[in-house]
Amino acid sequence: MTSQLKLLVLSNGHGEDIIAVRILHELLQLPNPPEIFALPLVGEGYAYQKLNIPVIGSVKTMPSGGFVYMDGRQLMRDVQGGLIKLTLNQIKVVRQWVKAQKQTDNPTAILAVGDILPLLFAYVSGTNYAFVGTAKSEYYVRDEFGLLKRKNKGAYWENFSGSIYHPWERWLMTKNPCKAIFPRDYLTTKILAEMGIPAFDLGNPMMDDLQPSFPTYRLYETDAERKETIRPLIVTLLPGSRIPEAYENWEQVMLGTSSLMETMCDMSRNSLSNTSTPMIFLGAIAPNLDCSILTKFVTSHGWKPSPIEELPLKFSDPQALTFKQKNAYFLLTQKAYNDCLHMGDIAIAMAGTGTEQFVGLGKPAFTIPGKGPQFNPGFAEAQSRLLGDSIILVEQPQNLGKQVKNLLAYPDKLHIIAENGLRRMGKPGAAQRIAECIINKLVQ
């Protein structure tokens, strides 16, 4: 009889929880799947409830929400909120769990998802482990042609040892109990593998489960020439999901949409047709946000409620809030996230995961630095390095229209952006590939 693997998953953040759950879902589809337990190191770990995975130990939401690396003040707030006590207790719980499981005849292992914190927990556990590195990428410091030129003098320390992963992190990856490392992209995998680390380039689970509701997007059913002549510019809006930050981000996004509307109107006045380009704005709103708050910003910028039936396209969410201004439409939806990603030509983004997923589909995202704690200027600048040509960083939302106009004037640039996004974010199906590798490496 084949032994059943007892697997404990450690993750440190909401985004990391979601990535972990995607891998676990694929693990549970395999023959003789492991018995899975979870310990979210940051937050409550609600994502695990979808798979009915039991959570061990204490869970608690810290004031920073997991963004302590953005701001030293956030770290101090977490310490005052009981971070040190919580961490020590979590280490104790992990070791006790491993000890209890080892008293059975079944193999025991840990899957760490996130950054050095779950990786360190996995090491001190005393059992075999694998690591999904979501937080770091070599693209933060280099591209395929060499190191990036950085003005910040402190940038040296990000790559002082020849990798974005520091020597102490790589030490944890080279210890015998560490059986597999799954970096987020090919470039990071290549450099770690050259350093003797068991790194596997299997893709990024962030690009999984993004299928649209339509098999192939068709805006109009008439001839191709008509499509190109009257096809609207579709703009996806990604304000993020963190409260109250997302509401402040939305105010900036709305300023960006107004700038774009004004620019398109100016372009039409200067063209022979004198017909402004129709536009559709798709607000991809997280379920936890209050749409009534967002609607106030929308109407304050001149948008009037409009029946969804007037849209020049079929949209998958019949409950979407719809507005109109001149020949442009504005939608707010909390149920059609994937469709918003696939339908958009460009995005105005102030999000982490959402921006990366949009870029991974081969599209350009215009990002506006916010006040944080997540999407602040430091985060936005780092994200632009991570995603390269696919990100156009707009310092002031009032300048967004001009930036979009500049990009659309160079179609060849769009081809470069498409190739760049696919290369940096990888192909779908990563979760299944990682799940199969985990079983092969941890059950030996």
Render each residue's pLDDT in the chain as its tens digit; 444 residues: 467 899 999 999 888 999 999 999 999 999 989 999 999 988 788 899 999 999 997 665 544 454 444 444 544 555 444 457 777 888 899 999 999 998 888 889 999 999 999 999 999 999 999 999 999 999 999 999 999 988 776 677 888 899 999 999 999 999 999 999 999 999 999 999 999 999 999 999 999 999 999 875 443 334 444 444 567 999 999 999 888 999 999 999 999 999 999 998 877 666 555 556 789 999 999 999 999 999 999 999 999 999 999 998 889 999 999 999 999 999 999 999 999 999 999 999 999 999 999 999 999 999 999 998 889 999 999 999 999 999 999 999 999 999 999 999 998 999 999 999 999 999 999 999 999 999 999 886
Do 285 and 239 meet the contact criterion of CB atoms below 8 Å apart?
yes
End-to-end CA distance of the chain: 14
- 110 and 177 in a single domain? The answer is yes
- 369 and 268 in a single domain? The answer is yes
Report the 10 Å Cβ neighbour count for 152: 10
- 355 and 416 in a single domain? The answer is yes
CATH number of the domain residue 79 falls in: 3.40.50.2000
pLDDT at residue 267 in the model: 73
Report the 10 Å Cβ neighbour count for 250: 23
Is 219 among the domain residues? no
Count Cβ atoms within 10 A of the Cβ of residue 376 and give its class: 0-12 exposed, 13-18 middle, 19 or more buried: middle
Is 217 among the domain residues? no
Is 214 among the domain residues? no
Q: Among positive and negative, which fits the CA dihedral 301, 218, 270, 260? A: positive
Is 215 among the domain residues? no
SS (H, E, C) the chain: CCCCCEEEEEEECHHHHHHHHHHHHHHCCCCCCCEEEEEEEEECCHHHHHHCCCECCCCECCCCCCCHHHCHHHHHHHHHCCHHHHHHHHHHHHHHHHHHHHCCCCCEEEEEEECHHHHHHHHHCCCEEEEEECCCCHHHCEECCEECCCCCHHHHHHCCCCCCCCHHHHHHHHCCCEEEEECCCHHHHHHHHHCCCCECCCCCHHHCCCCCCCCCCCCCCCCHHHHHHHCCEEEEEECCCCCCHHHHHHHHHHHHHHHHHHHHHHHHHCCCCCCCCCEEEEEECCCCCCHHHHHHHHHHCCCEECCHHHCCCCCCCCCCEEEEECCEEEEEECCCHHHHHHHCCEEEECCCHHHHHHHHCCCCEEECCCCCCCCCHHHHHHHHHHHHHHEEECCCHHHHHHHHHHHHCCHHHHHHHHHHHHHHHCCCCHHHHHHHHHHHHHCC
Q: Give the global pTM.
A: 0.88
Report the 10 Å Cβ neighbour count for 279: 20
Report the DSSP beta bridge partners of residue 6: 35, 108
Residues 263 and 397: their CA atoms lie apart, in Å, by: 13
Give residue 151's identity as a one-letter amino acid code: K
- 242 and 161 in a single domain? The answer is no
- 238 and 190 in a single domain? The answer is no
Q: How many residues does the chain have?
A: 444
pLDDT at residue 269 in the model: 64
Residues 340 and 113: their CA atoms lie apart, in Å, by: 27
- 231 and 118 in a single domain? The answer is no
Q: Which domain holds residue 13?
A: 6-208+428-442
242: nearest Cα among 134, 355, 373: 373
- 149 and 229 in a single domain? The answer is no
- 180 and 243 in a single domain? The answer is no
- 235 and 303 in a single domain? The answer is yes
- 127 and 251 in a single domain? The answer is no
pLDDT at residue 44 in the model: 81
Is 39 among the domain residues? yes
- 418 and 438 in a single domain? The answer is no
Q: Which two tokens stand for residue 320?
A: 């979407």
- 276 and 395 in a single domain? The answer is yes
Do 188 and 339 meet the contact criterion of CB atoms below 8 Å apart?
no
Residues 38 and 28: their CA atoms lie apart, in Å, by: 14
Is 1 among the domain residues? no
Q: What domain count does the chain have?
A: 2
Is 391 among the domain residues? yes
Do 388 and 420 meet the contact criterion of CB atoms below 8 Å apart?
yes
Pairing of strands 146-147, 142-143: antiparallel
Report the 10 Å Cβ neighbour count for 304: 10
pLDDT at residue 278 in the model: 87
Instruction: Tell me the chain's radius of gyration from C-alpha atoms.
Output: 23
Is 61 among the domain residues? yes
